[in-house]
Amino acid sequence: MSVQDRPAATTTLYVDTPAVLQQLCGQLRGHPWIALDTEFLREKTYYPRLCLIQLAVPGLAACVDPLQLDDLDPLLDILYDRSVTKVLHACSQDLEIFYRLRQAVPAPVFDTQIAAPLLGLQEQLGYGTLVKETLGISLDKGHARTDWTTRPLSERQVRYALDDVIYLAELYPDLSRRLEEQGRLSWLASDFERLESAQRYRNDPHKAWQRIRGHERLRPAALSVLQALAAWREEIACAQDRPRNWIMRDDILMDLARLQPANEQALARVRNLPEKTLRRHGNELLRLIAGAAARKPSPGPGPRGRAARATEEQEALADVLHAQLRLIASRHAINPGVVASRKQLLALVQGERDLSVLEGWRRRMAGDELLAMLEGRRALSVEAGSLKIESLN
């Protein structure tokens, strides 16, 4: 079916038959980049259910309906062509869906949310805000919580979905041109390469505990129990394709980890543990708790627990780094908070190095200079009422 053009110069397609899919693929071939988005639901499943794929190139936008098509391979072959850049906004969840389809990510990618801060825009900018600030267009977000599994989709639903790529296709050439003019386009390469790593989209049950709030405050035995229970829950949720919290909520996992019940009576006294769960999984939970409590916990991705309380000297040094960062950010016309928070600067002073300010473009712009200050190779001075950074090499 045809959809009213938006903007008028854009031809739109709704693709729900193999013949129209072939037509679309013919029109997409040869384009160096494609704006891409998806609509999905995962409220009742472990894995996201793909409901719609939106694509746009100059003059053409389309909604591809995977619920009506048995074979998406003609389109996927184009999306997985490494000569074609895929342009997305906040793309992690979209790429997770494509990883599920082919156990690989449709690289290379360009994420406009990641690129925006390099042009002086705020970090983690929403798509609607980015469109408003760059194109002056206010998008209708009335269908943000729509049920995309229903068919047929309304005309308004399709227009809403198409907006997510029509304006993305308008944004991308302007953003990439401005980044190129400022010599910053290449700065994004490492950030985008990380998005393309398949490992990023593999759910490892043995790392599931890292997503549970409050785990860093647990004692070693309790943390070991939480790790075992979180892995158990992840495996069941994955096998049954059900949300994690439908198997067991995070707060109950935390209570089990702290209390470590040793028998059925103690297990039954755990607050909010459903009776159905107790009947179905009680013996397994007791076995997991007893075994894990006797083991050392697995190490996490970084230092555990809260950072040591900062000394006055460390606080003062973080202030120096913040002053240095403000000067660097001003020189590049970027908000310093986008480059690093004061909390990160204090962590840097305290010796932590697994920080975003030491990755990608942030390291190129400021991270190495901040380290040079810490190592005594830079100094701050005042000249004619202005703060200056001096090299001591």
- In this prediction, residue 304 carries a pLDDT of 46
- In this prediction, residue 179 carries a pLDDT of 95
Q: Are 71 and 18 in contact (CB under 8 A)?
A: yes
- Of 386, 388, 389, 362, the C-alpha closest to 378 is 389
- In this prediction, residue 310 carries a pLDDT of 87
Q: Residue 163 and residue 166: Cα distance in Å, rounded? A: 5
Q: Are 252 and 279 in contact (CB under 8 A)?
A: no
Written as six digits, the tokens of 64 are: 């591809």
- In this prediction, residue 300 carries a pLDDT of 74
From first to last of its 393 residues, the chain has per-residue pLDDT tens of: 334 445 556 899 999 999 999 999 999 999 999 999 999 999 999 999 999 999 999 999 999 999 999 999 999 999 999 999 999 999 999 999 999 999 999 999 999 999 999 998 888 899 999 999 999 999 877 666 788 999 999 999 999 999 999 999 999 999 999 999 999 999 899 899 999 999 999 889 999 999 999 999 999 999 999 999 999 999 999 999 999 999 999 999 999 999 999 999 999 999 999 999 999 999 999 999 999 999 999 887 654 445 568 899 999 999 999 999 999 999 988 989 889 999 999 999 999 999 999 998 899 899 999 999 999 999 988 988 889 998 987
Please give the model's pTM, rounded to 2 decimal places.
Answer: 0.86
- Of 191, 187, 167, the C-alpha closest to 178 is 187
- Of 96, 290, 296, 287, the C-alpha closest to 200 is 96
Structural domains of the chain, ranges and CATH numbers in brackets: 11-201 (3.30.420.10), 205-293 (1.10.150.80), 312-391 (1.10.150)
Tell me, what amino acid is at 306?
R
What separation in angstroms does the CA of 172 have from each of 149, 236, 381? 29, 41, 41
Q: Residue 332 and residue 344: Cα distance in Å, rounded? A: 20
